[in-house]
C-alpha cells in the first residue's frame, strides 16, 4: 500500500477502484484539527481532472505502470492508433484520453506509451519537441530579434503557440511540451 506521505507528482494510485494520476498535491497542517492532503488527480480512463482531499496517512493500492516504445500511426477523430514496433500489433486509445499529448506528436513518430495495469493509458512526451512552423504572419519592418514582441504560429501538428516576431514559415522551433511554449529555433 502507498500512503499519502509517499505521493509524488506522476504517481498512479487506485482510489475506490478508479485509477488516477497525481498531478499536484499539497500537505496541509491546520492549526486546529488533523492534517490532510489536497490533491489534483487526472482520471486515467478519460483524462478528467478532479480535486480531492484525503486525511493524512490514508492508504491506496499502488498501480503497476511501465512504458513501452510504440509508433504513433494516426488519429481519426475518435481514437489514436499505435503500433508496437517489435510485434507489429496495433491498438487504439480513445483520443480524448491523450488529446493534450497528440498536439505535439507527428504521425509515424516513435513515442513512449504508458501502460497502467497492462492496459495502454497515456503517452509520455519528452520535455521538448522540434516542429516546423506551417503558418504565421510575417514580421513587420523594424521587428528585430531583440524586439520582444510575439505572434501566433501554427505548427505542423496543428497546435498553435506564440513565437517571437523573427520566426518565419518553414523554420523549425523547439517547443516545451509541458507548458506549450516556444523555447528556441531548432
Q: Do residues 14 and 53 both lie within one domain?
A: yes
Amino acid 147: pLDDT? 55
| Residues 19-38, mean pLDDT to the nearest whole number | 87
Q: Do residues 104 and 144 both lie within one domain?
A: no
Residue 2 grid coordinates? 502507498
- What does the mean pLDDT of the chain come to? 84
Q: Do residues 142 and 180 both lie within one domain?
A: yes
Q: Do residues 145 and 167 both lie within one domain?
A: yes
Express each pLDDT in 46-98 by its tens digit. Answer: 777 889 998 888 888 878 878 888 899 988 888 889 998 888 888 888 887 78
Output 38 or 11, whichever has higher pLDDT. Answer: 38
Confidence at 21, pLDDT banded by 50, 70, 90: confident
Q: Does pLDDT of 140 surpass 70?
A: no
Which CATH number belongs to the domain containing residue 89 in this structure?
A: 2.40.50.140
Residue 35 grid coordinates? 492534517
Amino acid 174: pLDDT? 92
Max mean pLDDT range (62-71, 155-164, 177-186): 155-164
Amino acid 126: pLDDT? 82
Express each pLDDT in 115-137 by its tens digit. Answer: 877 777 778 888 888 999 999 88
Amino acid 132: pLDDT? 92
| Residues 19-37, mean pLDDT to the nearest whole number | 87
Q: Does pLDDT of 143 surpass 70?
A: no
94 strand-pairing partners: 79
Q: Do residues 29 and 79 both lie within one domain?
A: no
User: What is the C-alpha separation between 171 and 13, in angstroms, rounded?
Assistant: 42
Q: Does pLDDT of 146 surpass 70?
A: no
Amino acid 172: pLDDT? 92
Amino acid 44: pLDDT? 75
CB 133 within 8 A of CB 171: yes
Which CATH number belongs to the domain containing residue 19 in this structure?
A: 2.30.30.30
Overall domain count for the chain: 3
**Domain membership of residue 37 as a residue range:** 2-62
Residue corresponding to grid cell 503558418? 135
Q: Do residues 58 and 76 both lie within one domain?
A: no
Q: Do residues 86 and 111 both lie within one domain?
A: yes
DSSP tally for the chain: helices H, then strands E: 1, 16
Amino acid at each position: 500500500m502507498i500512503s499519502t506521505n509517499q505521493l509524488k507528482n506522476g504517481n498512479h494510485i487506485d482510489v475506490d477502484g478508479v485509477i488516477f494520476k497525481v498531478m499536484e498535491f499539497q500537505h496541509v497542517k491546520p492549526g486546529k484539527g488533523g492534517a490532510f492532503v489536497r490533491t489534483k488527480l487526472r482520471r486515467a480512463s478519460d483524462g478528467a481532472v478532479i480535486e480531492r482531499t484525503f486525511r493524512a496517512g490514508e492508504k491506496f493500492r499502488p498501480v503497476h505502470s511501465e512504458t513501452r516504445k510504440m509508433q504513433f500511426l494516426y488519429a481519426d477523430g475518435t481514437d489514436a492508433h499505435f503500433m508496437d514496433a517489435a510485434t507489429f500489433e496495433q491498438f487504439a486509445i480513445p483520443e480524448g484520453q491523450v488529446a493534450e499529448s497528440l498536439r505535439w506528436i507527428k504521425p509515424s513518430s516513435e513515442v513512449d506509451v504508458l501502460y497502467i495495469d497492462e492496459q495502454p493509458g497515456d503517452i509520455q512526451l519528452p520535455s521538448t519537441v522540434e516542429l516546423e512552423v506551417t503558418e504565421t504572419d510575417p514580421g513587420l519592418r523594424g521587428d528585430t530579434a531583440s524586439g520582444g514582441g510575439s505572434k501566433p504560429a501554427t505548427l505542423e501538428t496543428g497546435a498553435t503557440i506564440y513565437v517571437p516576431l523573427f520566426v518565419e514559415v518553414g523554420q523549425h522551433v523547439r517547443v516545451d511540451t509541458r507548458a506549450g511554449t516556444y523555447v528556441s529555433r531548432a
